[in-house]
């Protein structure tokens, strides 16, 4: 029996991205899924600049952007579609070095990821294969799987449960979900325009107390609609094609569009109270679920695996003890919890505007789409009040060997120290750590960073230390640089 370094249960977007991130470090990875082929329908539709940087680690970000749409504005509207609140969306490249938000078509996105997976000799994929049991031994996990009625075992050092909202792994480990008490049913429809029609490039949250509705102009001719299921709805009637076309009638009709699918989803808001147990981890929807108002569910999962993959690398390369895995939940849980809360807030704002339509008092007290993600609360060195530490580092363009390159191309999923000074003196101990972790040293000069993305950082710090997941660990001046580097020992349990 081949022994794998990492077994991933679930070949959805989170499991597949996780497989590539680990395979890029050279590990032998196996992915299993009980289904065959990528998701035939879209669920996720929106991704952001930070996730594009993860997709760029394996060169598909450009393809995603080329096959995407950027909406111009988000509107909370009255039932007749008159705007109540309009939020213009930035169209220019964000400081992440990529567009702020783009809309993609999930079956296409998954095909880009799977094509990349097929180029890795160290990733094995078994579809039509269900994980039915597993045993966590001291130094590995034994998976019991079934494929076409045949039982077989897989042995792996680690098992990552990217097995979605009803995760078998989470349930088998008896891990509870903390519930935010948000449970709503929504009818989700995807359609494609087939004749030229005038539809604005917008996201509209229609705050109609009789039926809150979301309209979103996707990539190409793809359109997304979401209709809240109301207490008096008869579900069989609601799912009928005629009823659906009636709901779609403010935007499209049978003559100009094709209905791809319409399904009823339960929108939940919950988070697993434990994210890892010895050699087993949860990531993606198995660890957290949120309503899709902010389009952040998949993105939260991608942040999970970007956080976990380099920690697995440090452990497997004998650089860290197993205690490094304690940092996974400490860093990711509060961040994911914030995303769930923020998504629920958008839902509450929609409900509030609906109540106002019925004559009740409502003025939103919290912000909706224009909020920034918070810093990670752990695994950082400097004070996150600087609005730099614990956040993804901005991505400047640098001139390297006379070529324009994005910063991430030089970081290469390693730790990196970046400075605009031309000197670098550190203690013997700090040098040893730099060697042990293969920390990249990146020096910028006056030709670099034409968009001044790093200027706020260099006003405060002379050196900045970035983690492999592109989050800023901390900043320092010349005097305390060695101390910052040395602190990695305790922060990440270095051996
Ligand atoms: C209507 C809607 C709109 C959304 N919009 C967005 C959006 O715009 N942006 C965004 O970021 N997110 C969005 N989301 C959320 C996003 O779709 C999910 O967060 C994301 O798909 C989760 O990915 P995952 O890989 O964790 O899980 P999944 O995609 O659910 O994949 C889990 C996989 O595990 C497999 N599996 C499960 N159990 C087993 C087993 N025992 N053995 C083998 N295989 C198993 C399943 O077959 C499945 O393929 C939306 C969700 C919905 C419902």
247 within some domain: no
397 within some domain: yes
pLDDT tens, 23-47?
999 999 999 999 999 888 889 999 9
264 within some domain: no
State the Cα–Cα distance between residues 90 and 71, nearest whole angstrom: 9
52 and 154 within one domain:
yes
The reported pTM is 0.96
For 43, half-sphere exposure in the C-beta direction (CA atoms, 13 angstrom radius) is 21
* DSSP-H helix ranges across 173-289: 235-238, 241-248
Q: Which residue segment(s) compose the domain that 476 sits in?
A: 384-491
Of all protein residues, whose CA lies closest to atom 35 belonging to ligand 1? 10
Residue 434, both tokens: 């730099």
389 and 331 within one domain:
no
Q: Which of 19, 31, 43, 51 best tests ligand 1's pocket when mutated (most atoms within 8 Å of CB)?
A: 43
Distance 6 CA to ligand 1 centre (A): 20
State the Cα–Cα distance between residues 429 and 461, nearest whole angstrom: 22
State the Cα–Cα distance between residues 367 and 487, nearest whole angstrom: 36
Distance 9 CA to ligand 1 centre (A): 12
**322, 357, 392 - which closes a domain:** 357
351 and 413 within one domain:
no
462 and 331 within one domain:
no
340 and 484 within one domain:
no
225 within some domain: no
Q: How confident is the model at residue 399 (pLDDT cuts 50, 70, 90)?
A: confident
151 and 29 within one domain:
yes
Q: Which residue has the tokens 């394996």?
A: 58
409 and 314 within one domain:
no
Count of structural domains within the chain: 2
State the Cα–Cα distance between residues 297 and 343, nearest whole angstrom: 9
Region 466-495: what's the mean pLDDT?
A: 98
In this structure, what CATH number is given to the domain that contains residue 428? 3.40.30.120
Q: Would you say the CB of residue 265 lies under 6 angstroms from ligand 1? A: yes
345 and 455 within one domain:
no
233 within some domain: no
pLDDT tens, 476-490?
999 999 999 999 999
pLDDT tens, 433-463?
999 999 999 999 988 999 999 999 999 999 9
- State the DSSP H helix or E strand holding residue 280, giving kind and residue range, or none if neither: strand 280-282
In this structure, what CATH number is given to the domain that contains residue 320? 3.50.50.60
Q: How confident is the model at residue 362 (pLDDT cuts 50, 70, 90)?
A: confident
294 and 394 within one domain:
no
**342, 357, 372 - which closes a domain:** 357
Q: Would you say the CB of residue 218 lies under 6 angstroms from ligand 1? A: no
389 and 350 within one domain:
no
Of all protein residues, whose CA lies closest to atom 30 belonging to ligand 1? 164
Of all protein residues, whose CA lies closest to atom 50 belonging to ligand 1? 44
193 within some domain: no
Distance 127 CA to ligand 1 centre (A): 16
**357, 376, 400 - which closes a domain:** 357
Distance 13 CA to ligand 1 centre (A): 7
185 within some domain: no
- List b or e across 167-206, with b for residues whose CB sees 16 or more CB atoms inside 10 angstroms: bbbbeebebebeebebeeebbbbbbebeeeeeeeebbbbb
280 within some domain: yes
- When the pLDDT of each residue in the chain is averaged and rounded to a whole number, the result is 95
19 and 120 within one domain:
yes
131 and 47 within one domain:
yes
Q: How confident is the model at residue 405 (pLDDT cuts 50, 70, 90)?
A: very high
């Amino acid at each position: 029996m081949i022994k794998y370094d990492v077994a991933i249960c679930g070949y959805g977007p989170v499991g597949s991205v996780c497989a590539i991130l680990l395979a890029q470090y050279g590990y032998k990875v196996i992915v299993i899924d009980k289904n065959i082929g990528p998701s035939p329908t879209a669920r996720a539709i929106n991704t952001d600049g930070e996730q594009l940087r993860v997709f760029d680690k394996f060169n598909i970000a450009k393809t995603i952007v080329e096959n995407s749409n950027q909406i111009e504005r988000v509107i909370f509207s009255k039932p007749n579609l008159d705007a109540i609140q309009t939020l213009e969306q930035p169209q220019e490249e964000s400081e992440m070095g990529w567009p702020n938000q783009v809309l993609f078509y999930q079956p296409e996105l998954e095909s880009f990821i799977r094509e990349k997976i097929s180029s890795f000799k160290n990733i094995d994929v078994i579809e039509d294969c269900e994980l039915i049991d597993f045993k966590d031994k001291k130094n590995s996990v034994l998976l019991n799987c079934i494929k076409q009625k045949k039982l077989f075992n897989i042995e792996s050092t680690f098992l990552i449960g990217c097995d979605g909202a009803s995760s078998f792994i989470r349930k088998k480990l008896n891990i509870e979900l903390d519930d935010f008490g948000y449970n709503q049913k929504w009818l989700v429809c995807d359609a494609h325009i087939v004749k030229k029609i005038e539809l604005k490039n917008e996201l509209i949250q229609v705050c109609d107390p009789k039926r809150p509705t979301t309209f979103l102009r996707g990539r190409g001719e793809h359109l997304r609609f979401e209709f809240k299921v109301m207490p008096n709805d008869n579900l069989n009637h609601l799912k009928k094609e005629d009823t659906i076309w009636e709901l779609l009638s403010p935007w499209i009709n049978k003559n100009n569009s094709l209905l791809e699918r319409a399904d009823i989803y339960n929108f939940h808001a919950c988070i697993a109270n434990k994210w890892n147990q010895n050699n087993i981890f949860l990531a993606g929807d198995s660890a957290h679920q949120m309503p899709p108002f902010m389009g952040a569910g998949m993105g939260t999962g991608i942040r999970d695996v970007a956080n976990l993959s380099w920690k697995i690398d440090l452990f497997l390369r004998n650089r860290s003890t197993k205690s490094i895995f304690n940092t996974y939940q400490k860093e990711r849980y509060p961040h994911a919890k914030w995303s769930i809360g923020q998504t629920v807030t958008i839902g509450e704002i929609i409900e509030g505007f609906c109540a106002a339509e019925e004559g009740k008092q409502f003025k939103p007290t919290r912000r909706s789409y224009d909020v920034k993600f918070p810093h990670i609360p752990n695994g950082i060195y400097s004070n996150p009040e600087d609005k730099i530490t614990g956040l993804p580092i901005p991505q400047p363009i640098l001139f390297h060997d006379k070529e324009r390159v994005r910063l991430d191309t030089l970081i290469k999923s390693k730790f990196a120290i970046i400075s605009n000074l031309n000197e670098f003196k550190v203690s013997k101990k700090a040098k040893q750590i730099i060697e042990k972790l293969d920390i990249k040293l990146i020096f910028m000069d006056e030709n670099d960073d034409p968009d001044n993305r790093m200027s706020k950082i260099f006003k405060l710090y002379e050196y900045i230390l970035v983690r492999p997941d592109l989050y800023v660990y901390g900043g320092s001046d010349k005097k305390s640089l060695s101390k910052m580097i040395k602190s990695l020992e305790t922060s990440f349990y270095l051996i």
